[in-house]
């Protein structure tokens, strides 16, 4: 899988993960580390087109079609963007990856989680993040932070759906406590950022990349 490190950010919409991802990018770059950021669905031109279809088109999408499009985007992104960056020794920060499919399409939509795990492996050729930060907070708080945006196809799902997604994420964290670090995102920004920094610094220190 190359020499790089693959760190993913997960959580329900409105958890603030994307803000901390950018902050971490700045922090790591300022310390001279080779960091790159990307997102899912997206990251390559083709995957960004799939993102548009998934989030902003008016096509009717059943759960199976939806998951296959997310996975097609992931396969392309992994093959043509993430793996090459890891081969160059980069630290890749990715906004969402495999767990989003398990949480949203598995626990949220009710598709078979075990099957989705296999499909994820197929799409990624077995690439698994080295570290995942899971930003957890109550659904009501996340909705408020999102300003009741309800903007795209996923965000317009109701509270029940998001409760299932949140609980799904927490189950995944229980199953993979080594890889997935839980961040309590229901706190003020400075406190959350300190925890993000601590987790990542610890992770990098073990690999000799930080003091
Ligand atoms: P975001 O980039 O703003 O986080 O939006 C991406 C949306 O897509 C978000 O609502 C979660 C959803 N999603 C899935 O349902 N399954 C997936 O596999 C991925 C990557 C995202």
Encode pLDDT of 64-87 as tens digits. 999 999 999 999 999 999 999 999
41 C-alpha to ligand 1 centroid (Å): 6
In this structure, which residue's CA is closest to atom 2 in ligand 1? Answer: 40
- Collapse the DSSP code of 69 into the 3-class scheme (helix H, G, I; strand E, B; otherwise coil) and give the result: helix
**Measured between alpha carbons, how far is residue 112 from residues 17, 59, 104, 115 in Å?**
26, 24, 11, 5
Tell me what pLDDT residue 154 has: 87
Mean pLDDT over the full length of the chain: 96
- Collapse the DSSP code of 110 into the 3-class scheme (helix H, G, I; strand E, B; otherwise coil) and give the result: coil
Tell me what pLDDT residue 194 has: 98
Q: What is the mean pLDDT of residues 155-168?
A: 95
Among 76-80, 142-146, 158-162, which is the least confidently predicted range?
142-146
88 C-alpha to ligand 1 centroid (Å): 27
Tell me what pLDDT residue 148 has: 58
Helix then strand then coil, % of the chain, to nearest 5: 55, 15, 30
pLDDT in tens, 3-45: 999 999 999 999 999 999 999 999 999 999 999 999 999 999 9
pLDDT bracket for residue 146 (50, 70, 90): confident
131-136 and 35-39 beta bridge pairing? unpaired
Q: By percentage, how much of the chain surpasses pLDDT 90? A: 91
Tell me what pLDDT residue 55 has: 97
135 C-alpha to ligand 1 centroid (Å): 14
Given a cut of 90, whether residue 155 has pLDDT beyond it is no
In this structure, which residue's CA is closest to atom 4 in ligand 1? Answer: 13
Tell me what pLDDT residue 177 has: 97
Q: What is the mean pLDDT of residues 83-110?
A: 98
Q: ∠ CA 57-60-61 to the nearest 5 degrees?
A: 95
pTM over 0.75: yes
In this structure, which residue's CA is closest to atom 3 in ligand 1? Answer: 13
93 C-alpha to ligand 1 centroid (Å): 16
In this structure, which residue's CA is closest to atom 8 in ligand 1? Answer: 154
Cα–Cα distance, 129 to 19 (Å, whole number):
20
Assess contact for 29 and 114: CB atoms under 8 A: no
């Amino acid at each position: 899988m190359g020499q790089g490190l693959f760190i993913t950010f997960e959580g329900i919409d409105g958890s603030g993960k994307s803000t901390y991802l950018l902050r971490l990018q700045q922090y790591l770059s300022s310390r001279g580390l080779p960091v790159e950021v990307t997102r899912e669905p997206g990251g390559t031109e083709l995957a960004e087109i799939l993102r548009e279809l998934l989030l902003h088109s008016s096509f009717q999408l059943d759960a199976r079609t939806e998951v296959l499009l997310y996975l097609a985007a992931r396969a392309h992104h992994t093959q043509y963007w993430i793996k090459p960056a890891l081969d160059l020794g980069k630290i890749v920060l990715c906004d969402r990856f495999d767990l989003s499919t398990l949480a949203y399409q598995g626990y949220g939509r009710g598709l078979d989680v075990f099957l989705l795990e296999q499909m994820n492996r197929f799409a990624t050729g077995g690439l698994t993040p080295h570290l995942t930060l899971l930003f957890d907070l109550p659904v009501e708080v996340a909705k408020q932070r999102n300003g009741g945006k309800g903007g795209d196809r996923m965000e317009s799902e109701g509270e029940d759906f998001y409760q299932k997604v949140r609980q799904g994420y927490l189950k995944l964290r229980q199953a993979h406590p080594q890889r997935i670090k839980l961040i309590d995102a229901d706190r003020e920004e400075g406190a959350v950022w300190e925890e993000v920094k601590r987790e990542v610094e610890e992770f990098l220190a073990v690999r000799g990349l930080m003091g």
